[in-house]
A = this chain, B = another copy of it.
């Protein structure tokens, strides 16, 4: 298991890197924004995360309170993951990262979240896009939590 014992410095950038500074965590967060919320759905993403890494990252991000999960009453097997408020607040970072790539890398085709978010940002600005995505996710989440 990837260990996250203590922060390397008092730098706020470094401390967030201590939490999500790897190749997979933010991809899972992206998937949650996309509406995915189960282990199996995360596994199906095009990046092809392996099962042990996925299990490890879910555990770590749960410990760091970026995500949490619930069971549905009629199914004791599947965990339904969701973003906490702390997790939702990562969206501006994800936006800026997608914008950077859109500006500096060349894509022949593009993943749906990227395509839609970037279009939306260009049309109505980043602040509105962030606000709308957060609200939209809050709605999704409250529906999940209401069907406990």
Q: Which residues of A come within 8 Å of B, CB atoms?
A: 8-18, 21-23, 26-27, 30, 45-48, 86, 89-90, 92-105, 107-111, 113-114, 118
Contact = CB atoms under 8 A, between A and B. Distances in A.
Nearest to A93: B96
For the complex, would chain A's binding face be called helix, strand, loop or mixed by DSSP majority?
helix
Given A18-B23, A22-B22, A27-B17, A12 B93 contact: no
B12 A105 contact: yes
Contacts of A89: 100, 103-104
Contact of A8 (B22, B48, B102, B113): B48
A108 B11 CA distance: 11
Nearest to A85: B104
